[in-house]
Amino acid sequence: MSIAARPLFAFDNSYVRELEGLYVPWQATPSPAPRLLALNDELATELGVDAEALRAPDGVAALVGNATPDGASPVAQAYAGHQFGGFSPRLGDGRALLLGEVLDVHGRRRDLHLKGSGRTPFARGGDGKAAVGPMLREYAIGEAMHALGIPTTRALAVVATGDDVARETLLPGAVLVRVAASHVRVGTFQYAAAHGDPALVRRLADHAIARHHPRALDAENPYLAFFEAVVDAQASLIARWMLVGFIHGVMNTDNMAISGETIDYGPCAFMDAFDPATVFSSIDHGGRYAYGNQPAIAQWNLARLGETLLPLLDAEPEKAVAAATDVLQSFPDRYDAYWSRGMDAKLGLADGTGEDEALIDDLLALLHAQTVDFTSCFRALSSSVRGDATPARSLFTEPRAFDAWSDRWRAQLLSSRASDQRVVAEAMDRVNPVYVPRNHHVEEALAAATAGDLEPFARLLDVLARPFDERPGLESYAAPAPPSFGEYRTFCGT
């Protein structure tokens, strides 16, 4: 008697079933010598997948795209997008494939997606490949964001392909296996709308509502409620980015997920010294996607989503525009509420007041004026609450200005919190990380991995997995880059 082997994944592919016209069936380009570089055991368990089976040759073959797992329906997804403000009606997965969807152990539907798996009909002249460094970068930053409590796509694995990728030089190739609530983007709606198919826009909206925002179904106008839910999710997400100093770097509409997850870690980075004008991306010459511009860009992107939904909102165009505009104009207030609540928590304050807003603004102005490290300062403030102001004070070149601010802050703390100071300090430490992906450590780990040494990458992952727990021996991971690191630039990883 033979026993059938358990399939690697239990697929249920609603995107392919429901959204014909928004994908092209496709297969990955075979990799000559696949080798597993990183596997996310925790995420595999969450997906209900046997991690050891993924490590076996058949598992690695499935992860790199050399074999199609049972039940998979690999497709290249179609989407459009505004890239740095210019509209491209046909972008799509030029080097990626959606293998299918699985229900995780919590019953949540998750996409399984290959990135760097070869050319597709959307490749637009690219080679469809990816290099080891950028794929490990996405793995590491995604895990850091997850540990920080920020909604994000995550990497299940990175597999070396065994061939080289031609960039400025020849680099070892790799495929990233990405897990997401879905890969439906603002650009997906733009593609459907740009190709003149109102029925497709409606099917896409119905799919997105059922998958991500089912409460909208109970509303008088489900499509308007859906738009409002997406606006709120993005207001929350961008506030979370800002609260930890994260800069996405390429906030095109095709990189904004309807689910409210962070997606596509290309030229992203975490800010060291606080400066709203901080830009790391080598292609963002005008600073469109600078740290301080992210909320406004998010609202701009959401306006583009609203445009695609107008025919669904009301049969009368003027009423549809008015309804969408009302929702869109709520974004700044929603964002400010999430930002203020998060900043109050970072400063140990109980309730938002006018004085709280002044304290926040004045502290950020001090950080900017004195080139103070964003992450280090907020973490050090809990020591001040415990009675030792030295860690925070030492970060300022002119500490008397900080002292004056600190006196006001401590007075506000005493008036706004009934809890004892120990409890306040502990609460602050739960929201102010010690460790974020410092750019110099990320680059060090990726350079070593590209050369074949994965130990620095594994060590970095371990540090980032517990960002709020200060651990002895990891002091260098809590410090900003030394001056010798120089000006930092990131690239799209294409």
| Mean per-residue pLDDT over the chain, rounded | 94
Cα distance between residue 434 and residue 403, in whole Å: 22
Q: How far apart are CA 446 and CA 491, in angstroms?
A: 13
Whole-angstrom distance, CA of residue 93 vs CA of residue 96: 5
CA 256 to chain centre: 9
Q: What is the pLDDT of residues 374-391, one digit of tens each?
A: 999 999 999 999 999 999
Asked if residues 81 and 304 have their Cβ atoms less than 8 Å apart, the reply is: no
Can you state the angle between helices 186-194 and 294-313, rounded to 10 degrees? 40
Q: What is the structure's pLDDT at 1?
A: 35
- For residues 144 and 155, is the Cβ–Cβ distance under 8 A? no
Question: Sorting pLDDT into bands at 50, 70 and 90, what band is 61?
Answer: very high
Mapped onto helix, strand or coil, the DSSP state of residue 419 is coil
pLDDT tens track for 432-475: 999 999 999 999 999 999 999 999 999 999 999 999 999 999 99
The pTM assigned to this predicted structure is 0.96
> Does residue 295 register a pLDDT over 60?
yes
Q: Give which of 248, 246, 255 is closest to 374, Cα–Cα.
A: 246
* pLDDT value for 197: 86
- The strand ranges marked E within 338-399 are none
Radius of gyration of the chain (CA): 23
Smallest CA-to-CA distance from 143 within 465, 474, 479 is with: 465
CA distance 70 to 58: 12
Residues forming beta bridges with residue 111, ordered by sequence position? 101, 180
pLDDT confidence tier of residue 4, bands split at 50, 70 and 90:
very low
The residues annotated with a catalytic role in the active site are: 254
* Residue with more model confidence, 483 or 81: 81
- pLDDT at residue 3, rounded to an integer: 43
| 488 within 8 A of 278, measured Cβ to Cβ | no
